[in-house]
A and B are shown apart, each in its own frame.
Chain A
Amino acid sequence: MPQGVWAVTEIRDGEFRRISYEVVSEARRLADALGQELTVAVLGSGLEELAPLMGQYGADRVVVADDPRLEPYTTEAHVAVLTQLIQQADPAIVLLGASMQGKDLSARLAASLGVGLAPDCTSLAIEEGNLTAVRPIYAAKAYIKVSFAADQWPQMASTRPNQMAIADPDSGRQAEIVQASFDLDDGQIKTKLVEVLKDESDRPDLTEAEIIVSGGRGMQDPENFAVIEKLADLIDATVGASRAAVDAGWRPESDQVGQTGKVVSPNLYVACGISGAIQHLAGMGTSKIIVAINTDAEAPIFKAANYGILGDLFEVVPPLCEEVKKYRE
């Protein structure tokens, strides 16, 4: 019978990404529910100082694969190494994050191991010793609860960013550090990172943002996005857009929230001049608090929102900036 929970981390610019803490914290909860150990896998190069940190977040053991060919990330190298490590350890559960890199890694790793994967889950549980998962489908217009086919191990899932609570670190807690041994043939690596084009914005990506301020058709003009950008700056938010605003050419595709854009789940979503077409509501429906500012009382966005102001965003947002400043200071 396979034993133990594995969590796979993600590193960028020499640090764990936030999603790694979410995944490890959730994996710890699952390991506790099973009464089993948590192993955290850390892959990259020059990991000596970084890897032990995961002990504070609940790892019993940190398996370190430290090799220059594992940084920067390539699908082939990471999948090859993790496939070997997981097959050797034979865990019951493997958890990854559904970040952009995590989506790439988890899908190929599951295929490589020949097991199922429940992707982009919003909650996980242990029932009668087995993993169950809840995940949104149709861009969160519905949810399914899934279980895993019998006798297939490990049970694998990836977790949607911003959904799993991060545990308080325990600075006194230490994990056993294990240097992994693996075979990696250079010929297996068929992709190469040539260049990284940096986004000028230092705000978090929409998929990981805690606060989002979005503009729609009611913005009327691309220049007017300055109004909501100012609000976004004040509350450390990322700016999003409706499909109408993107299709009008006012905002880049990467800003689109909705069923054919990004599916987001921030703590706070402020919709300015967005009517709330079903495909937009689907993309932001898992936001915890939704605020709508719109001149149309009949706009469907008001049915999805927790708080609403019936009014002109150009009259409401500037004073809102002044008001939120008071609370931010």
Chain B
Amino acid sequence: MNSVVFVKYVPDTETWIKVARDGKSMDPEGVKWVMNPYDEFGVEEALRLKEQFGGEVLVVSFGPPKIKEIVLQGMAMGADRGLMIIDDAAQQSDPWAVARALVAGIRDFDFDLIFCGQRGVDQDQGLLGPAVAQLLDIPQLLMVQKVEVAEDQKSLRVHRPVEGRVLVLESSLPAVVTTTKGLNEPRYATLQNILKAKKKPLDTASLSDLDLDAAEFGEEARKIKVEEMSLPPERPPITMVQGETPQEAAAELARLLHEEARAI
């Protein structure tokens, strides 16, 4: 059971977002970068399948040189190998371009499953997994909370929550699985495993190493163009609802919600 996990470098969810001078992108000043939280579930699930069936786990990322931190983190969690696709053209590449780089990166790896987070907590798109699945012409199972691989390792079952119900889906392998909260509790890398990770095989490739043309990546090649970025409109100042007693305050709140906000 060989698994690939695609991991992305994103601003920590505690980050206050500011708009950069270009008016189109996030100001990176003071931002703490982490592995996309949804990708951690993918690493954990791949490790659990390896523990159950044997095989290898490969962690892959595409971006600037600092992606080394999250690839090493995946390896410190227990992945066997890492691949960093490092290229200046990664900057501003859209999900369809990123998918091409990642798919080219794993062309010599015989995988059964590919994991990635159900969305990046930065751009909130959820497009990478389907783009990868399309390029490879394999099934996609999105936003899953449970993964069960059959004993013969030829198929899998997943639980996919949709509005108000959970779908139990069966699929052939190989497949792309995108992961969401509730799938598992990702393990922490111990100090010993962090040291061990540094001795595991870690490859680096550029786009040209993968026979890809850098001109087909980056901002110029985007299918969706960002015109401007803005912060949410300020909310009107809060109305603090007063009352002599909680009962009075509750009565006034109910009145305001009914008469002013027309929300109940």
Contacts and interface: CB of A to CB of B under 8 A. Distances in A.
Contacts of A263: 124
Contacts of A135: 124
Given A116-B94, A323-B251, A147 B166 contact: no
B254 A137 contact: no
B214 interface: no
B121 A139 contact: yes
Interface stretch (B1-9, B79-87, B194-202, B229-237): B229-237
Given A103-B142, A197-B165, A289-B263, A117 B257 contact: no
A178 interface: no
A279 interface: yes
Interface in B179-226: 181-182, 222-226
Nearest to B254: A323
Contact of B16 (A120, A141, A205): A141
A224 interface: no
Nearest to A325: B254
Interface in A275-291: 277-279, 282, 285-286, 288-291
Nearest to A237: B264
Contact of A119 (B24, B127, B166): B127
Contacts of B142: 103-104, 107
B227 A132 contact: yes
Contacts of B151: none
Interface in B88-106: 94, 96, 99
A159 to B, nearest CB: 14
Interface string B135-176: 100111111010000000000010111111111111110010
Contacts of B229: 137, 142-145
Nearest to A114: B96
Contacts of B175: 190
Contact of A136 (B124, B130, B140, B249): B124
Name, among B17, B38, B99, B131, the residue most crowded by chain A CB atoms within 10 Å (CB to CB): B17
A207 B233 CA distance: 21
Contacts of B125: 119-120
A146 interface: yes
Contacts of B140: 75, 104, 108
A288 B159 CA distance: 32
A145 B226 CA distance: 6
A315 B253 CA distance: 14
Contacts, number: 263
A115 to B, nearest CB: 6
A interface residue count range (under 10 / 10 to 19 / 20 to 34 / 35 or more): 35 or more
A306 B163 contact: no
Contacts of A278: 13-16
A144 B228 contact: yes
A200 to B, nearest CB: 10
B121 A260 contact: yes
Interface of A: 75-76, 99-101, 103-104, 107-108, 110-112, 115-120, 132, 135-149, 152, 190-199, 201, 203-205, 207-208, 211, 235, 252-254, 256, 258-261, 263, 267-268, 277-279, 282, 285-286, 288-292, 302-312, 315-317, 319-320, 322-324, 326-328
Interface of B: 11, 13-17, 19, 24, 26, 37-38, 94, 96, 99, 121-127, 129-131, 133-135, 138-143, 145, 157, 159-172, 175, 181-182, 222-232, 235-236, 238-241, 246-247, 249-251, 253-258, 261, 263-264
Given A144-B227, A256-B181, 20 more contacts: A111-B134, A117-B127, A137-B122, A138-B122, A146-B225, A148-B223, A149-B224, A191-B139, A194-B169, A197-B167, A204-B163, A253-B181, A260-B13, A268-B263, A268-B264, A279-B14, A305-B238, A308-B239, A309-B250, A315-B246
Which 10 A-B residue pairs are closest in the complex by CB-CB distance?
A116-B223, A253-B182, A323-B254, A205-B163, A111-B134, A107-B130, A100-B162, A319-B250, A315-B246, A268-B263
